[in-house]
């Protein structure tokens, strides 16, 4: 286990060192994130301009959901997107062979090899919004703690979904189109799930589980989450993670290397 932590630290420090070459990128992306944040808050303000609450959600409570969304988006940009798009590249160029030969779990290697700093501003802004909204709602440390479990579950779910999609590149080389669709669908997580019509709510809970990613953590913070939802989120995450591992091993049996 210790070996894995050490390897991860090495992976990330070398990635960061390589990225230091492009410091302006980081500046530009933190500026873009800031603009995006201002726009998103403005949008929520527009939605709530004439009503104090919609379907049981107020402006501040929706801000909480937006905070979690920004945070998860940041994580996706820092580690998920870069690493999983590399799976496709490895399959296409045949360099996957080298990874399979390494004395370390291949799923681990593929998932954490790279680390990109552009997502960090989003993670920071997300945390700031959650803190700000929490302050306006008068939430205490216990309430913040309540969000941790569903947030972790949401992260694991997001990762597993993304990894499974990436793993399908063993068969279909052009999966980045599918990840493009997925990341656009995930944009629905900006708003509390209750703000959608019923059909969309079902879709974003059971087919693309956006509800578990951002709405459930916010509900947990507001003390509104049923135990059933929390257990549901945890079980969902565990199942998704196991499924991603099983799927990866299944996919590897079909890997035939390039040019063979």
Partner 1 sequence: MKSFAHKLRTITGVQYAALLEYRAEMVLWVAGTVLPFILMGVWMTASAKADLVLQPVEMARYFFATFVVRNMTLVWVVWEFEQQVVKGTLSHWLLQPMDPVWRHFAEHLAERFVRLPILVVIGVVFFAVYPDALWTPGLWDIPIALAAIVLTFIMRFSVQYTFAMLSFWTERAHAIEQLWALPYLFLSGMVAPLALYPQAVQQVLVYTPFPYLIWYPAQKVLGLPTAAGSVEVTLGMAVGVMAFWTLVFILANRLLWRIGIRRYSAMGA
246 is a site residue for partner 1 (CB under 8 A): no
> CB under 8 Å to 85, separation ≥6 — which residues?
166, 176, 179
188 is a site residue for partner 1 (CB under 8 A): yes
Out of 54, 99, 137, 152, point to the residue binding partner 1 (CB under 8 A): 54
Q: How far is the CB of 120 from partner 1 (least distance, A)?
A: 17
Task: List the Cα angle 170/171/177 in 5-degree steps.
Answer: 90
173 is a site residue for partner 1 (CB under 8 A): no
Burial class (CB in 10 A: 0-12, 13-18, 19+), 38: exposed
**Are the beta carbons of 122 and 77 closer than 8 angstroms?**
yes
Out of 82, 185, 252, 258, point to the residue binding partner 1 (CB under 8 A): 185
**Rounded to whole angstroms, how far apart are CA atoms 200 and 207?**
10
Q: In terms of CB distance, is 140 or 197 closer to partner 1? A: 197
Among positions 55-74, residues that touch partner 1 (CB under 8 A) are: 55
206 is a site residue for partner 1 (CB under 8 A): no
**Rounded to whole angstroms, how far apart are CA atoms 147 and 254?**
40
Out of 7, 36, 85, 106, point to the residue binding partner 1 (CB under 8 A): 36
Q: How far is the CB of 96 from partner 1 (least distance, A)?
A: 23
């Amino acid at each position: 286990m210790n070996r894995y932590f050490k390897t991860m630290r090495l992976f990330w420090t070398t990635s960061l060192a390589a990225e230091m070459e492009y410091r302006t990128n980081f500046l530009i992306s933190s500026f873009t994130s800031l603009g995006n944040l201002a726009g998103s808050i403005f949008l929520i303000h527009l939605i709530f301009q004439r009503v104090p609450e919609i379907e049981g959600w107020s402006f501040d409570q929706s801000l909480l959901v937006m905070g979690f969304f920004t945070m998860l988006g940041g994580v996706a940009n820092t580690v998920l997107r870069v690493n999983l798009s590399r799976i496709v590249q490895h399959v296409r160029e045949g360099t996957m062979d080298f990874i399979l030969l390494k004395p370390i779990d291949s799923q681990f290697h593929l998932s954490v090899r790279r680390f990109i700093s552009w997502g960090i501003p989003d993670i920071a802004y997300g945390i700031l919004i959650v803190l700000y909204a929490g302050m306006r709602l008068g939430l205490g440390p216990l309430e913040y703690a309540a969000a941790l479990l569903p947030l972790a579950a949401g992260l694991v779910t997001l990762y597993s979904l993304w990894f499974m999609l990436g793993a399908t590149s063993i068969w279909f080389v052009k999966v980045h189109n599918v990840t493009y669709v997925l990341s656009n669908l995930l944009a629905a997580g900006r708003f509390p799930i209750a703000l959608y019509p019923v059909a969309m709510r079902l879709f974003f809970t059971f087919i693309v589980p956006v509800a578990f990613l951002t709405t459930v953590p916010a509900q947990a913070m507001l003390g509104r989450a049923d135990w059933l939802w929390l257990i549901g989120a945890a079980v969902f995450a565990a199942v998704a993670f196991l499924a991603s591992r099983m799927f990866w091993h299944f996919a590897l049996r079909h890997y035939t290397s390039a040019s063979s």
